Amino acid sequence: MKANVPTRKKIKLKWFKSKCDFTIEREINIQYTANTATYNKQNWDVIVKYVLIKEGEPKDIPVNSPMTLYKNNLPFLFLTTSGTIGNKIISEKMIDDDITVDDDIVQIKEGKPEITFEDALKPKEHIEVRTRYDKILRKITIENKLDNEIELELNFKQTKDVTFVKSEPEPSVKEEPNYKYNVKIPSEEKKFVNFELQAKIVKRVTRIKPEFIKREKTQPK
C-alpha cells in the first residue's frame, strides 16, 4: 500500500519522496447520559484515520491537502490531510463502515429512591425530588467485516450521572473519568465488552404542601 500527497496549486511546497511507515488508527468513543444509559439499543461509529510516519526530516504539509491511498498500485481511497505532527502526516477522520458497533441493554436494577424537597415559586408548593441509583448492564458487540485482522481503541468516558463500576474485560488503561480498551478482532469475527454502570436518576415533581391540602379540606363551603 502507498500514499500520494500532491502539492496544492496555490501553495508553494517543495516536492519530496520518502519511505513511510503506514498505520491505521481506529477508535470508538462511548459516553452516556442518565437517559441514554437505559436505551434498549444504540449504535456507535468507528472513527478511522490514516497516519504516514515519514523517514528523515519533518515536512509541513498544509491542512486539507488532497491525499490518495493506493492498493496494488490502484487508487482506492481519496482523503484530505488534517495536519502534520513531527514526522507524522495525518489524514482526516472518517467513519469506518466495515466495523459495526451494537450496544444493547442487558439488565436494569432500580435502586431505592431517596426523597428530598426543594422550594417552589409558589409559597403553597414545594418540589419533591426523587433520587435513585440504578445498576445498568450493557453489552458492546464489535464486528469486523474486513478480510484482515484489525486493532482499535474503545474509549468509555464516565459522567457525573453515569459512572463506571466494572467491565469484562478489564480496561487496558484506567484514568478517571476515562477507561480505554485495546481490542484486536480477527477477520469476520466479533469481540464483546460488557459494562456494569451506575446511573443517577433524578425526578422532580411540583406538589402542594401537605399543610395546605389539609386546610383546603377543612374549610367550610
Residues 155-167 pLDDT 10s: 999 999 999 999 9
Contact 6, 80 (CB under 8 A): no
pLDDT of residue 6: 57
* Separation between Cα atoms, residue 201 and residue 113, nearest integer Å: 9
Q: Among 60, 57, 79, 59, which Cα is nearest to 68's?
A: 79
Euclidean distance between CA atoms 183 and 34, whole angstroms? 27
Per-residue pLDDT tens digits for 92-116: 999 999 999 999 999 999 999 999 9
Q: How many C-beta atoms lie closer than 10 Å to residue 197's C-beta?
A: 19
Regions of the chain where pLDDT drops below 50: 8-13
**pLDDT in the model for residue 11:** 45
